[in-house]
Chain A
Amino acid sequence: MRLSRIITALVAGLAVAGVPAAAGAAQPYPPQPPSLTATDTTVEIGQATTLIGTGFGANELVRLDFTFTPLAARAPGAQPARVETGGMGAMAPASLELKGGPAIPSTTVRANSEGRFTKVVKFHHAGQVLVTATGLSTARVASVTITVFRPQPGLPVTGSSVGSQLAVGGGLLATGVLLVLMTVVWRRRRRQDVTAGSMS
């Protein structure tokens, strides 16, 4: 009795896990919302973004591959990105440093019972990174492209405020020069006064 219940549950589980694969294969005609998204699709080097995967199999292992393309080129190249990942999803490792190189710097993450996972990633090279998530049981594939820029020195500034800053700076400089000159003149006059006084 107990064994049959377990088998039934297992079969049901397998059927549920198989649904996304079947759905993925059949591809209903309207486009579906993306299965792999990111909180920020453009980041600076070292800035974290969270990858969110949905629609994968319940508790499925999902492999994340990273393909890096320098910003100037258009076609996705094969050079792997140097990536640092820190997990937030169910059973995901807390933090993982993956070095670039000829070896594939992929990582895996386990989806939760609803087929959802999240993963925090940071990149160490400027360029465009194609992140591809592949469900290891369902073979479901989804991707997201992250643009990585070099960090900006200081805060962004508007064109007009640069002008006003320059104006303020220039004004201050002029005031300073004027004050110095006045001091010199005043001191010279005082010295002259003193000399005149000693002569009289």
Chain B
Amino acid sequence: MTATSGKRRRRSRGRRRLRRVLLAALVCACLVSLSGGWLVLRGWQTREHLVGAMRLARSLSEQVRSGDLVQARRTLAALQQQTAGARSSSGDPAWRGAGHLPYAGRNFATVQAISIAVDDLARLAFPALLSLDPAALVPKAGRLDLAALRSTAPTLAAAEPEVRKVDRRVDALPTAGLHPQVRDALRQLRDELDNLTTVTTAARIAAALLPPILGANGARTYLLVSQNLAELRATGGIWGAYAAIRTEGGQARIVAQGGTASEDLPMFPQPVLQLSPEMRALYGDLPGIYAPDVNLTPHFPTAAKLYREMYRRRSGTSVDGVLATDPVVLSYLLQAIGPVQVTGQTGVVSQPTLAATTAVRTLLSDTYRTLDLKAQDRYFAASARAVFEAILQRPIDPRALMTVLDRAVEERRLLFWSAHEQEQEMIAGTRLAGVLPEREQVPTVGVFLNDGSGAKLGYYLTHEAELTVGDCRRDGRRELRLRVTLSSSAPRSGLSSSVLGLGLSGEPYTARTLVYLFSPARGSVVSARLDGTAVAVGSGTERGRHVGIVNVETPPGRTRVLEATLLTPVDAPGTADLWLTPGVSPWTTHISSAPDCKK
């Protein structure tokens, strides 16, 4: 009896415990599924908002570039709604709590960080960018609206730090252990932020610099030089023709024109400015005494300073800066503004009209083949003036103009140096400045070509460069293998004496190219082989880089292959970059990176 009742009591106690356990499990399951469901709902909402924001951001970028500001402002308002939504749906306590979970937690935290970043951009950076009307960057009836530009400068200056702040925050987010979708979103955001940083920096510099450059604070004079790519120099080609341009109150006009190699800028007996010992060891006195040699160095500010001084000695005018361009940029501009009639020269050249597709050939080949020296100078001056007038007077689509200028700067065909220190400091970090940096994040190998034949055979050269990041050495340096291929499509006969020039290679149709190989900053050039055979290398230093010089003579129809071994500085990453002399035809390049060295 007692045993039976004891058994019953034990059983009922057991049941009660089971019931309690089951109940607790049920409550737990309910809580988990409720919060899980809530997180899924919030996640879905956040995703919808972010996808919507991305779509709107793309339209916004299109509208800004096409100058449709009314529509762009509407798009921005909608975009801000979406980003605010994403921020709030990923910002509630449950989501924040989920961020601390093991394994999946990092995904929640990253989505929240992405939402905050996008919302910050939409609220703090985009409105500032909309304040600059791209149409304000294009002259109307020969004049640029400086007041409009000036009024936007402070707003743009304020936007840049905001973008950089967001960029730093997003850069610090870890990618390891993320769901592929979240990782993709993070990668896309990083790419967009890179673009946005470039755009905001460019807009800030443009808004701050264009007014003083265009004479808002008093008249200024600039030298516009045309790089003749048919005779190669490190920054492009010899500065064949120049135009002095005077700017005042947003208006620009040509006040003088001349030719570098003609009597306008003859050879000076002594260097016009003191050259550093390392410059003299590499190039002799040439950059300091003769205008077509100022840009034997790839460092544009040095070339511009020397040219400015040469011009001052001849004309008595100290210019405020130097802008270099080339016929390829001219062809890009002609794409944006349409063909231009070169007046006063009809009948001298077969193509009196300059058009995008024929400009390079007309200016760099036909002119030399058909005209005598004096007529060449006249034709170059007339074509420069015609294009300049067309840019100032014609209605131009700002988007098209921005696109071609962007391409020209990207290809290092448009270079600018300002004699005003503060202005130069602002542009020094951009590609426009052509500054050979003394320090760099990614080891960069420079391949700069200087013509040594005194001929216009550069027009017929095509080039390829291949850079491979190689072995790690025990001292922490990396080996870089460079392969440069030069080919000449020059004919074997029939070229005029203007094209063949001095013919210093010994064989008039053979192009002598001095290839200057610049090591990465604090790196070095080891050795070189030409067509598989070891060659002796000339060598010097410039701006913290070891420079190797190899003479490559390319007969018509032949291809020469120059292979070089270089070393990076200690602890360089597995990536590398190339900096090349822009030519008539674009370079074919290939860079093979490698994993970072193990320590």
Residues of chain A whose beta carbon lies under 8 Å from any beta carbon of chain B: 27-42, 50, 52, 74, 76, 128, 130, 132, 143-147, 149-150, 152-154, 156-160, 162-163
Contact between A29 and B536 (Cβ–Cβ < 8 Å)? no
Contact between A146 and B539 (Cβ–Cβ < 8 Å)? yes
B221-273 with Cβ < 8 A to chain A: 261, 267
Residue from the list B284, B452, B524 in contact with A147, Cβ < 8 A: B524
B283-306, CB under 8 A of A: which get 1 and which 0? 111100110110010000000000
Contact between A157 and B452 (Cβ–Cβ < 8 Å)? no
Q: Please, which residue of chain B has its CB at the minimum distance from the CB of A26? A: B267
Q: A128-B541, A158-B472 are in contact. Are A28 and B594 (CB under 8 A)?
A: no
Shortest A35–chain B CB gap in Å is: 8
Q: In whole angstroms, what is the CA distance A189 to B471 when docked?
A: 50
Is the CB of B526 closer than 8 A to any CB of chain A? yes
Q: In whole angstroms, what is the CA distance A119 to B596 when docked?
A: 39
Q: Please, which residue of chain B has its CB at the minimum distance from the CB of A24? A: B284
Contact between A28 and B504 (Cβ–Cβ < 8 Å)? yes
Is the CB of B548 closer than 8 A to any CB of chain A? yes
Q: Could you say which residues of chain A place their CB within 8 Å of the CB of B541?
A: 74, 76, 128, 145
Contact between A37 and B537 (Cβ–Cβ < 8 Å)? yes
Q: Please, which residue of chain B has its CB at the minimum distance from the CB of A144? A: B539
Is the CB of B161 closer than 8 A to any CB of chain A? no
Contact between A154 and B474 (Cβ–Cβ < 8 Å)? yes
Shortest B493–chain A CB gap in Å is: 23
B440-478 with Cβ < 8 A to chain A: 450-454, 470-475
Contact between A42 and B524 (Cβ–Cβ < 8 Å)? yes
Residue from the list B296, B471, B472, B526 in contact with A41, Cβ < 8 A: B526
Q: Could you say which residues of chain B place their CB within 8 Å of the CB of A38?
A: 536-537, 539
Q: Could you say which residues of chain B place their CB within 8 Å of the CB of A27?
A: 284-286, 289-290
Is the CB of B549 closer than 8 A to any CB of chain A? yes
Contact between A158 and B594 (Cβ–Cβ < 8 Å)? yes
Q: In whole angstroms, what is the CA distance A42 to B541 when docked?
A: 12
Q: Could you say which residues of chain B place their CB within 8 Å of the CB of A52?
A: 536
Q: In whole angstroms, what is the CA distance A154 to B595 when docked?
A: 21
Q: In whole angstroms, what is the CA distance A38 to B567 when docked?
A: 17
Q: Could you say which residues of chain A place their CB within 8 Å of the CB of B527?
A: 39-42
Q: Could you say which residues of chain A place their CB within 8 Å of the CB of B597?
A: 159
Contact between A156 and B472 (Cβ–Cβ < 8 Å)? yes
Q: Could you say which residues of chain A place their CB within 8 Å of the CB of B548?
A: 41
Q: In whole angstroms, what is the CA distance A143 to B281 when docked?
A: 6
Q: Could you say which residues of chain A place their CB within 8 Å of the CB of B502?
A: 28, 30
Given contacts A33-B452, A39-B534, A146-B539, 13 further A-B contacts (CB under 8 A): A29-B286, A30-B451, A30-B453, A31-B514, A33-B512, A34-B549, A39-B527, A39-B537, A41-B537, A144-B540, A147-B524, A152-B473, A154-B474
Q: Could you say which residues of chain A place their CB within 8 Å of the CB of B277?
A: 76
Q: Could you say which residues of chain B place their CB within 8 Å of the CB of A29?
A: 261, 267, 286, 290, 292-293, 454
Q: A28-B454, A33-B452 are in contact. Are A156 and B286 (CB under 8 A)?
A: no
Q: Please, which residue of chain B has its CB at the minimum distance from the CB of A39? A: B536
Q: Please, which residue of chain A has its CB at the minimum distance from the CB of B540? A: A145
Shortest A159–chain B CB gap in Å is: 5
Is the CB of B598 closer than 8 A to any CB of chain A? yes
Q: Could you say which residues of chain B place their CB within 8 Å of the CB of A36?
A: 538
Is the CB of B106 closer than 8 A to any CB of chain A? no
Is the CB of B278 closer than 8 A to any CB of chain A? yes
Q: In whole angstroms, what is the CA distance A112 to B541 when docked?
A: 29
22 interchain pairs, CB-CB under 8 A: A27-B289, A29-B292, A30-B293, A33-B551, A34-B537, A34-B538, A35-B538, A37-B537, A38-B536, A41-B526, A41-B527, A41-B537, A76-B277, A76-B541, A144-B539, A145-B546, A152-B473, A157-B472, A158-B471, A158-B472, A159-B472, A162-B472
Q: In whole angstroms, what is the CA distance A107 to B512 when docked?
A: 33
Q: In whole angstroms, what is the CA distance A128 to B453 when docked?
A: 31
Q: A29-B267, A33-B538 are in contact. Are A152 and B475 (CB under 8 A)?
A: yes
Contact between A156 and B479 (Cβ–Cβ < 8 Å)? yes
Shortest B426–chain A CB gap in Å is: 25
Shortest B355–chain A CB gap in Å is: 32
Shortest B472–chain A CB gap in Å is: 5
Is the CB of B322 closer than 8 A to any CB of chain A? no
Shortest A128–chain B CB gap in Å is: 7
Q: In whole angstroms, what is the CA distance A40 to B502 when docked?
A: 31
Residue from the list A31, A35, A130 in contact with B296, Cβ < 8 A: A31
Q: A42-B546, A145-B540, A147-B546 are in contact. Are A156 and B473 (CB under 8 A)?
A: yes
Contact between B474 and A37 (Cβ–Cβ < 8 Å)? no
Q: Could you say which residues of chain B place their CB within 8 Å of the CB of A37?
A: 536-539, 549
Q: In whole angstroms, what is the CA distance A157 to B472 when docked?
A: 6
Q: In whole angstroms, what is the CA distance A147 to B567 when docked?
A: 11
Q: Please, which residue of chain B has its CB at the minimum distance from the CB of A36? A: B538
Contact between A149 and B450 (Cβ–Cβ < 8 Å)? no
Residue from the list A42, A50, A74, A159 in contact with B536, Cβ < 8 A: A50
Contact between A31 and B539 (Cβ–Cβ < 8 Å)? no
Q: Could you say which residues of chain A place their CB within 8 Å of the CB of B391?
A: none
Q: Could you say which residues of chain A place their CB within 8 Å of the CB of B453?
A: 30
Shortest A194–chain B CB gap in Å is: 50
Q: Please, which residue of chain A has its CB at the minimum distance from the CB of B477? A: A149
Q: A74-B544, A145-B540, A153-B474 are in contact. Are A30 and B525 (CB under 8 A)?
A: no
Q: In whole angstroms, what is the CA distance A132 to B277 when docked?
A: 12
Q: Could you say which residues of chain B place their CB within 8 Å of the CB of A144?
A: 538-540
Q: In whole angstroms, what is the CA distance A158 to B475 when docked?
A: 12
List 5 A-B pairs, minimum CB-CB distance, nearest first: A34-B538, A37-B536, A33-B551, A147-B524, A42-B526
Q: Could you say which residues of chain A place their CB within 8 Å of the CB of B450?
A: 30-31
Q: In whole angstroms, what is the CA distance A128 to B597 when docked?
A: 25
Q: Could you say which residues of chain B place their CB within 8 Å of the CB of A34?
A: 537-539, 549, 551
Q: A39-B534, A159-B594, A162-B598 are in contact. Are A32 and B474 (CB under 8 A)?
A: no
Shortest B570–chain A CB gap in Å is: 10
Q: In whole angstroms, what is the CA distance A40 to B535 when docked?
A: 9
Q: Could you say which residues of chain B place their CB within 8 Å of the CB of A28?
A: 454, 502, 504
Q: Could you say which residues of chain B place their CB within 8 Å of the CB of A132?
A: 281
